[in-house]
A = this chain, B = another copy of it.
Amino acid sequence: MVSELREFTEEQDFAALRSWLEENGTLDITDALSRLEPEERALPFRLLDKDRALAVFEALDPVHQQQLLDALREERVRELVNAMQPDDRVRLLDEMPAAVATRLQAGLPPEQRAATAALLGYPPGSAGRIMTPDVTNVRASMTAADALAKVRRAGRRPMRSQMLVLPVTDDERRLIGVVDLPDVVAAEPSTRIRDLMQPETLYVRADEEQERAARLIQEADLIALPVVDREDRLVGMITVDDAMEIVEAEDTEDFSRVGGTEPLELPYLSAGVFQLARKRAPWLLTLAVAFTLTVVVLNSFEQALEALPALAFFIPMLIGTGGNSGAQAATLVVRAMAVGEVRFGDLTKIIFREMRVGLVLGTTLAVVALPLVSLVYTVPIGTVIALTLVGICTWASFAGGMLPLIAKRVGIDPAVVSSPFIATLVDATGLVMYFLIAYAVIGDQLTVAAAALGA
């Protein structure tokens, strides 16, 4: 499908392009456009009719929106940016070089400029930054008929989920509740709005974090959440589609960090090789430096390695298993924290559980490893490996379960200290454990062999 579009674009086959665009839906067109090279996108986009063009533009990722604007005439750019919803426009402006953003804002009609400036006044990441300032509110003293008349006056507009839930305010625009549009429609026309309000009023303050707003919408199954200022005055609404985007972005961030990389903040295929490397190099370098600990540990056990080189054979398996079991614990705890199931107060409970889980897992592995290693190598080596597996799994699960909670407590993103970080930590400490167990179990053998080598 993309190849078709690309072919028609390259050949500048207008007729084929037009019919392709007519046959496909908005989402398919958006998807295909994102997959074209940035400079190829302008031609098919210009062939879209006006309504469809706006719909496609709104569905594009902010990065792609900006690339597309770069290729369009100034007038068309202004048209598109004016037609966007204020909160989407702010997201686009945030992606742009400051000079371009300022010029675009200057070109907005006064009303839109005011709405945009208001949103840009809130700090990035705050609820205010992503709310829709343009909401239809009703008063508690109105009747259902009055409220419907007000919705009717607001006119037919592109679908706006904020009109599905109407915030109810007092005479000073202070939020006192919300009412669902279906309830207003279904009510006797003379019913007071006050009697139709939802029993509970959930809201956020404009300076609170977006993520809190998004999780509230998600947990309470809301369509829209009112946003108020410090005086409890209604300033906007955050809608469920924005909440989904925020939750998705948060999940992507956690997901990236758990995989040992910074989030890209733009679609994978739109990131250049050096952009990708720049997001990954700091992690890789930091972890590689942390790995020098393992070099130091092994260096200090050089004698044992010289005496019994077979000890080296199991290093990757032991530290790998330790890293994996630590990563399991950390992953489950990080996710449970993200979805709000677990918090710092649960620390002791989690530590206790994870140590027991680690013990169970380590013992399971030891039971498998002991006969195998004893058979291929010797019973003492088998014993060393089995004991180390038990110790390493218990310790790794303990560390993996505990560190994300502690990280959050001291203000670090818990996802940062999960998998790769914990694996590195467990590697060095696991090696110390391994050699200490080896000395305890087969110490005589190691010393005798070392003496023989020295002689």
Contacts and interface: CB of A to CB of B under 8 A. Distances in A.
Interface of A: 2, 25-27, 31, 34, 51-52, 55, 59, 148, 151-152, 154-156, 159-161, 163-164, 180-183, 185-187, 196, 198-200, 202, 216, 218-221, 223, 240-241, 243-244, 247-248, 251-252, 254-256, 258-261, 264, 267-269, 273-274, 276-277, 280-281, 283-285, 287-288, 291-292, 294-295, 298-299, 302, 305-306, 309-310, 312-317, 319-321, 323-325, 327-328, 330-336, 339-342, 345-346, 349, 353, 356-357, 360-361, 364-365, 368-369, 393, 418-420, 423-424, 427-428, 431
A31 B346 CA distance: 13
Given A273-B360, A294-B320, A259 B330 contact: yes
Contacts of A309: 302, 305-306, 309, 312
B420 A332 contact: no
27 contacts: A34-B341, A154-B186, A156-B182, A161-B164, A181-B182, A240-B244, A244-B247, A251-B255, A252-B339, A255-B258, A258-B258, A259-B328, A259-B330, A260-B328, A268-B335, A268-B341, A276-B353, A280-B328, A285-B368, A288-B321, A291-B316, A298-B312, A298-B315, A302-B310, A305-B309, A316-B431, A324-B420
A311 to B, nearest CB: 9
Contacts of A333: 268
A31 B340 contact: yes
Contacts of A281: 360-361, 364
Given A274-B360, A294-B317, 14 more contacts: A55-B199, A148-B185, A240-B240, A243-B244, A247-B248, A256-B335, A267-B336, A268-B333, A268-B336, A269-B342, A294-B313, A320-B424, A327-B419, A327-B420
A316 B316 contact: yes
B185 A159 contact: no
A315 B317 contact: no
Nearest to A337: B268
A181 B164 contact: yes
A333 B269 CA distance: 10
Given A26-B220, A223-B223, A288 B261 contact: no
A145 B314 CA distance: 77
B25 A200 contact: yes
Given A268-B341, A317-B294, A331 B259 contact: yes
A154 B51 CA distance: 34
A259 B221 contact: no
Contacts of A284: 321, 324-325, 328, 361, 364-365, 393
B315 A255 contact: no
A198 B26 CA distance: 12
Given A283-B324, A294-B316, A324-B260, A186 B360 contact: no
Instruction: Give the secondary structure class of A's interface.
Output: helix
Contacts of A315: 298, 312, 315-316
A198 B200 CA distance: 32
Given A258-B331, A274-B360, A285 B341 contact: no
A238 to B, nearest CB: 13
A156 B186 contact: yes
A323 to B, nearest CB: 8
A333 to B, nearest CB: 7
Most buried by B among A26, A154, A288, A319: A288
B342 A268 contact: yes
Contacts of A327: 259-260, 419-420
A186 B163 CA distance: 11
Given A294-B317, A335-B252, A156 B187 contact: yes
A199 B55 CA distance: 11
Nearest to A183: B156
Contacts of A260: 324, 327-328, 331
